[in-house]
Amino acid sequence: METPWHVYVLVSADGSRTYVGVTSDLPRRLAQHNGERPGGAKSTRAGRPWAVGATFGPYPSRGQAQAIEHRLKRRSGRDRLRPLPQPDVVPPDRRPLRRDPPLS
């Protein structure tokens, strides 16, 4: 069984900054960001202590989690804490038709 991946949003102590990341072990990663364990991101040295503001997942693969992380990083500030909209589901009769390659 693969390790589930989570996307997390951290909020700085004064609430003015956010940080988005991906992990398979959130307690360990939070301790790293807060300087309690080695390995935290350089950008989170300021703003300590950080708290988890939101989590998304679990996702079965790191790639899927990173796609969500990318969507969240396009947002700014506390807007990153809002839930993501569900992907649009296109009904089967509305899907684009497959086009065959032209005959030579």
What's the CA gap between 88 and 19, in Å, rounded? 27
Closest by CA to 65, choosing from 25, 7, 3, 24, is: 7
Tokens of 21: 């990341």
**Geometric angle at alpha carbon 71, from 92 and 68, rounded to 5°:** 75
One pLDDT digit (tens) per residue for the chain, 104 residues: 578 999 999 999 999 999 999 999 999 999 999 999 998 889 999 999 999 999 999 999 999 999 999 999 999 999 999 988 866 444 455 555 556 666 76
Closest by CA to 1, choosing from 57, 61, 56, is: 61
